[in-house]
Amino acid sequence: MYKKYICFIFLCNVIFSLCWFNIEKIADAGAQQMPAFQMEESPEESIRTNVVLDESKAVSLQRVVEVNVLESERIGLSEEDYDILLRIVESEAGGEDEDGKLLVANVILNRVENSKFPGTVKEVVFQEEKGVFQFSPVADGRLYSVTVSDETVEAVDRALWGEDISEGALYFASRKNASPERMKWFDEHLELLFSYGGHEFFN
């Protein structure tokens, strides 16, 4: 009789011990799977946020590049037209700073693009009206005697890359060097846009 009770108690102890051992194993496994600390934002959300920020920067930079590319399309000229443009800018604005030279180049190119004037740099520069050349360096031969400076090359290249600070001017004149009759025509027939350096610019 006692042997039966002893065997029963022994079996109960064995079963209890096995159950306790399994419970501890399960608890340990659960603790290992728990994160060491809780993140306010999941890793996926953090990565997504960073990607969005980076994409916005990339899009912004891409827009800048695209705008610069669109604005930086060089105007194509023949070698002869390019040489004439350099020479007319040097002979008309050799004493001006780089922006003063740029303005003269702008006026020449504005005329090329305007339907009221010829369609090439050479034709614009050598245009005559009633036997009179439009530009005095052509009339007095200075066009061919000048030495083109590096600053003039830089100014002309700026104009050919699309930089225009002329407000669309189609005419310019140096009041102190022009005849009174010529300046009278400018004042009576054209609109003064602005003055820069030694030149006045008109439309």
Count: domains in the chain: 1
Domain annotation covers residue 154 = yes
Tell me which DSSP letter residue 73 carries.
-
Domain annotation covers residue 44 = no
Q: What pLDDT, on the 0 to 100 scale, is given for residue 7?
A: 55
Q: What pLDDT, on the 0 to 100 scale, is given for residue 202?
A: 97
Domain annotation covers residue 116 = yes
Domain annotation covers residue 87 = yes
Question: Which residues of the chain register pLDDT less than 50?
Answer: 34-70
Q: What is the per-residue pLDDT across 69-101, written as a single tens digit (0 to 9) for each?
A: 345 689 999 999 999 999 999 999 999 999 999
- CATH number at 98 reads 1.10.10.2520
Q: Domain of 108?
A: 79-166
* Contacts of 125-131 spanning 24+ positions with Cβ under 8 A: 125/84, 125/85, 125/88
Domain annotation covers residue 150 = yes
Q: What pLDDT, on the 0 to 100 scale, is given for residue 115?
A: 96
Domain annotation covers residue 89 = yes
Q: What pLDDT, on the 0 to 100 scale, is given for residue 161?
A: 97
Q: What pLDDT, on the 0 to 100 scale, is given for residue 66?
A: 41
Amino acid letter, residue 175? R
Domain annotation covers residue 127 = yes
